[in-house]
Chain A
Amino acid sequence: MTTAALKQETVFDINEMNLWYDQFHALKDITFPIHKKEVTAIIGPSGCGKSTFIKSLNLMASRIPGVKMTGDITFNHQNIIINKPNLVDLRKKVGMIFQKGNPFPQSIFENVAYGPKIHGIRNKKRLQEMVEDSLKKTALWDEVKDRLNVNAFDLSGGQQQRLCIARAIATNPDVILFDEPTSALDPVSANKIEELILNLKQNYTIVIVTHNMQQAARISDKTAFFLHGRMIEHGDTNQLFSNPKNKETEEYITGRFG
């Protein structure tokens, strides 16, 4: 298989997907694929539904009272909207990083080991290896290896966010969803997260919601532009930013609204 063919392998196939909050139609006929081992950025103005969309991919959205979803999100050959998959398995495979680092009020080690422990790993040595491996993958190991027993709240905001990424990686997911992961961080910390995402792309499929168009342009392979609950345009990031097909996309990326 050539690299190009491999790249087009999809992880999520979203087809005519709709979502309502009670009467409010928040996502309308969303249709596009998310390709394997690529970074897909979701951009759009506030309230366009991009956060709701990313929360649908691991069904965190269905937790919200009054939410109704229809259509098709195919992950691992099954429609997760209709088939009601085991949420434990789904979220093990589809990790999520939130706007603000949200470590548990426990030690750094316990934070990273939390997922693997739940998913049945008890062997202490194995846990230690997994924690070390996850922390290395998030470039946090050198900063914290001497104080793994320190409370995670002692870390800086950027470190906390990377710890959360390590925590998600430790369950060995296929996909990592990032919901505006740098919006609460200073530029230097944000930069580190961006570098990290570019590294993680080799092993994981990444979906990132971002307010920051430069960020989307810097780190993503594909970009989807959302507006008023619709997916307006989806394509190669370079092309979408340099030569958007849709007029609204162009207006948004040139800063005329949003």
Chain B
Amino acid sequence: MNSKLADKMATGVFVLIALIFISLLTALFSYILMRGLPVISWDFLTEASSVVREGGGIRDQLFNSFYILFVTLVITVPLGVAGGIYLAEYAKPGKITNFIRTCIEMLASLPSIVVGMFGLLLFVNLTGWGYSIIGGALALTMFNIPVMVRVTEDAIRSVPADQKQASLALGMTKWHTIKTVILPSAFPGILTGTILASGRIFGEAAALLFTVGLSTPELDYTNWNPFAETSPLNLFRPAETLAVHIWAVNTNGIMPDVTEIAAGASAVLVLSILLFNLLARFVGKIIEQKLTANKK
């Protein structure tokens, strides 16, 4: 077989694989959207869900998903970024660093249902909080810290070495160099990584089943005091998220329009995650352009 033919065949195989992927993805998306989009309406998004009657919405679930995402990020980003800085700039290569890295990788690959069970033991039972937003956020933190550490470390390592050199050669200390040169340069990478990780947090169900629970108390959206019992901001209340809701109505929903609700909620979930991804690309591109404007 001559090399030209081999080259053509290789190209063909890769194009074929790409096509299979694209068609799978399109099929999946159009299935979810075709079933879900007709259900989505302003009422669907702003009505509370109903346990038995027809026509319930997903208002609380949608809010819970975003709120848990927010709380998780507040905990994860500072810790993850700090860990990433440590691994990229301070950790000396050796056994201890390798051990830390292995631990982080293990954490990242833990099945989320296991994290959920662990969260149940620790954040629900041991702390006595019961099902709570903070418990769920901490469970999500456990497998998102590794992602953030990795994202930060990669972003820092991809900062051109000569910029770091320039700063050190000007007499800057290491910490000052990290603060004023490395982190600003690594920022777009960290930001896009965070947004992508957000998509995963947003769609997570298994880890939340046993930590934030399957119900949401009656919420009063005019009460923004986070310590009030009925406030949506209360960290110590149970909070069913969108992904959990989809699972719950599918397994034991008794309302007559179960399929519609599940389809609509799935479509909202998928669209939100799609939005996160597009946002990540868009923001990343804009910042990158700002930072590296026409490198001729």
* B166 in contact with A164 (CB, 8 Å): yes
Give the number of residue pairs across the A-B interface with Cβ within 8 Å: 70
Q: Is A167 in contact with B170, judged by CB distance below 8 angstroms? A: yes
How far is B162's CA from A105's CA once the two chains are assembled, in angstroms? 12
In the complex, are the beta carbons of B165 and A87 less than 8 A apart? no
Which chain A positions have C-beta within 8 A of B158? Answer: none
Cβ contacts A to B, 10 pairs, < 8 Å = A60-B165, A63-B168, A91-B168, A91-B170, A96-B169, A102-B166, A104-B167, A114-B167, A118-B176, A154-B294
A residues in contact with B167, CB < 8 Å: 104, 114
Q: Which of B27-35, B203-211, B285-293 contacts A (4 or more CB under 8 A)?
A: B285-293
A60 and B293 CA atoms in complex are apart in Å by 29
Q: How far is the CA of A184 from the CA of B142 in the complex (A)?
A: 47
List B258-296 residues whose CB lies under 8 Å from chain A.
Answer: 290-296
Chain A: residues with Cβ within 8 Å of the partner, total of 30
Binary A-proximity of B144-175 (CB < 8 A = 1, otherwise 0): 00000000000000001011011111111100
Closest 5 CB pairs of A and B: A91-B171, A102-B162, A96-B169, A92-B171, A105-B291
Are B169 and A119 closer than 8 Å at their CB atoms?
A: no
User: How many whole Å from B222's CB to the nearest CB in chain A?
Assistant: 45
Per-position 1/0 for A81-102, Cβ under 8 A of B = 0000001111110011010101
Question: Known contacts being A104-B181, A164-B166, is A154 close to B293, with CB within 8 Å?
Answer: yes
User: In chain B between 167 and 221, which residues have their CB closer than 8 angstroms to a CB of chain A?
Assistant: 167-173, 176, 180-181, 184-185
A152 and B290 CA atoms in complex are apart in Å by 11
Partner of B184, one of A58, A100, A105, A156: A105
Q: Are A98 and B184 closer than 8 Å at their CB atoms? A: no
Give complex CA distance A55, B290 in Å: 32
* Cβ–Cβ contact A114 & B291, under 8 A: no
Q: How far is the CA of A114 from the CA of B294 in the complex (A)?
A: 23
Chain B residues in 8 Å Cβ range of A103: 166
A-B contacts besides A88-B171, A91-B169, A153-B294, 5 pairs, CB < 8 Å: A96-B169, A114-B170, A115-B171, A119-B171, A151-B293
Q: Is the CB of A98 within 8 A of B172?
A: no
Within 8 A of A (CB), among B105-138: none
**Contact: A153 with B293, CB < 8 Å?**
yes
- Bound CA span A183–B72, Å: 49
* Given A153-B292, A154-B293; A100-B162 close (CB under 8 Å): yes
Interface residue range, chain B: 20 to 34
Please report the C-alpha to C-alpha distance between residue A115 and residue B160 in the assembled complex, in whole angstroms: 19
Q: Which residues of A contact B168 (CB under 8 A)?
A: 60, 63, 91
Most chain A CB within a 10 A radius of its CB, from B172, B291, B294: B172
Q: Is the Cβ of A118 less than 8 Å from the Cβ of B170?
A: yes
Is there a chain B Cβ closer than 8 Å to A168's Cβ?
Answer: yes
* B170 contact set on A, CB distance < 8 A: 91-92, 95, 114-115, 118, 167-168, 171
Nearest A residue to B291, CB-CB = A105
Complex contacts, A151 vs chain B, CB 8 Å = 290-291, 293
Q: Which residue of A lies closest to B166 (CB)?
A: A102
| Cα–Cα, bound, A171→B290 (Å) | 27
Q: Please tell me which one of the listed residues A63, A98, A154 contacts residue B162 in the complex, with CB atoms under 8 A apart.
A: A98
CB of B293 to closest CB in A, whole Å: 5
* Residues of A126-159 whose CB lies within 8 A of B: 151, 153-154, 156
